[in-house]
């Protein structure tokens, strides 16, 4: 096994990578890090460089080969160097340096998306990444993070997306008013997901309303959506609680709403209820 090429914690590459832990440096450089084989595999089209321990490079030879085939340099590094670049407590031996990949909102709207998740006032990076993953799994066309939401490239958000960050267009830093008006102009019905909604998700499904192009707005983990944001939506919709649970967390509620829309959009007649009257 060849000796590692990166051995010093003071290497300019290591120093530059560690600086990307701060949002200001990520924004300035328009670069961020991904950790672990799954994330690096998914990020191959956006990679600038890959750093891996000799053991990880051997264990994940197909990832190394894919990166090199895409013209991405792969440098081997000591365990200490990879750990210094990593944000996790137990690094997996491989880290990718990526370029930013967010899309302009105008580009997303031009495609007239049928299903969009809008994250408004979402501050927890783990929740943001998980909702992005849910949107990807539900077949959403795009995700929009408003200017009041967490940084898309926060290491925890990137990890929580489990590679979905690289699967669908994401717009960032968009004022919620602009996002809503643009989505409406593109033909989407805008629904605010909130526990205080007058309508509930079952009624939306029963009435066949979710088959149309839809944008869901999801709010802050602790206090939901402010009144001024709810007022922008066409409807405020709650997820019905049929049991004794007080509420659902953000990511679970988002998954329920997005999958309800995905099912309705794929069904004839908009997935109307078939319960006899």
pLDDT given for residue 222 in this prediction: 81
Look at the chain and count its residues: 277
In angstroms, the CA 253 to CA 275 distance is 24
Using DSSP bridges, classify how beta strands 115-119 and 170-174 pair: parallel, antiparallel or unpaired.
unpaired
pLDDT given for residue 276 in this prediction: 45
How would you classify residue 139: left for phi > 0, otherwise alpha for psi between -120 and 50, otherwise beta?
left
pLDDT given for residue 89 in this prediction: 87
Nearest alpha carbon to residue 114 among 3, 258, 269: 258
Beta bridge partners of 199: 237
pLDDT given for residue 263 in this prediction: 95
| Tokens 């990076």 found at | 125
Nearest alpha carbon to residue 225 among 199, 266, 193, 262: 193
pLDDT given for residue 196 in this prediction: 85
Q: Which residues contact 233 (CB under 8 A, 6 or more apart)?
A: 180, 190, 191, 192, 217
pLDDT given for residue 46 in this prediction: 96
In angstroms, the CA 186 to CA 214 distance is 10
Residue 84 main-chain phi, psi, to 5 deg: -65, -35
pLDDT given for residue 275 in this prediction: 46
Rounded alpha-carbon distances, angstroms, from residue 90 to 21, 74, 75, 127, 271:
16, 21, 20, 21, 45
In angstroms, the CA 134 to CA 120 distance is 16
**Dihedral angle of Cα 142, 145, 147, 151, to the nearest 10 degrees:** -130
pLDDT given for residue 272 in this prediction: 53
Consecutive 10-residue averages of pLDDT for the chain (277 residues): 81 95 96 95 96 96 97 96 92 96 97 97 95 97 96 96 96 97 98 92 94 96 89 96 90 96 82 47
In angstroms, the CA 74 to CA 65 distance is 9
pLDDT given for residue 103 in this prediction: 97
| Ordered domains of the chain (ranges, CATH) | 12-99 (3.30.1330.30), 105-271 (3.40.1280.10)
pLDDT given for residue 277 in this prediction: 41
Contact call for residues 96 and 82 (beta carbons, < 8 A): no
């Amino acid at each position: 096994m060849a000796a590692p090429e990166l051995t010093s914690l003071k290497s300019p590459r290591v120093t530059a990578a560690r600086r990307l832990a701060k949002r200001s440096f990520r924004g300035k450089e328009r670069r961020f890090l991904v950790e672990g084989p799954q994330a690096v595999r998914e990020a191959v089209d956006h990679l600038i460089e890959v750093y891996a321990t000799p053991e990880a490079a051997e264990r994940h030879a197909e990832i190394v080969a894919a990166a090199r085939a895409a013209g991405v340099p792969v440098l081997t590094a000591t365990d200490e160097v990879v750990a210094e670049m990593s944000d996790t407590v137990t690094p997996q031996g491989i880290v990718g340096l990526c370029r930013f990949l967010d899309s302009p909102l105008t580009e997303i709207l031009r495609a007239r998306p049928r299903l969009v998740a809008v994250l408004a006032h979402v501050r927890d990076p783990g929740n943001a990444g998980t909702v992005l993953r849910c949107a990807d799994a539900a077949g959403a066309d795009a995700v929009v993070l408003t200017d009041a939401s967490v940084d898309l490239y926060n290491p925890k958000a990137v990890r929580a997306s489990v590679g979905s960050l690289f699967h669908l267009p994401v717009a960032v830093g968009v004022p919620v008013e602009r996002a809503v008006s643009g989505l409406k102009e593109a033909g989407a019905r805008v629904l605010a997901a909130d526990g205080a909604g007058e309508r509930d998700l079952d009624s939306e499904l029963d009435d066949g309303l979710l088959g149309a192009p839809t944008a869901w707005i999801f709010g802050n983990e602790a206090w939901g959506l402010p009144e001024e944001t709810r007022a922008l939506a066409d409807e405020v919709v709650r997820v019905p609680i049929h049991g004794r649970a007080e509420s659902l967390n953000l990511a679970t509620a988002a998954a329920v709403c997005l999958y309800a829309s995905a099912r309705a959009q794929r069904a004839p007649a908009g997935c109307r209820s078939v319960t006899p009257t």
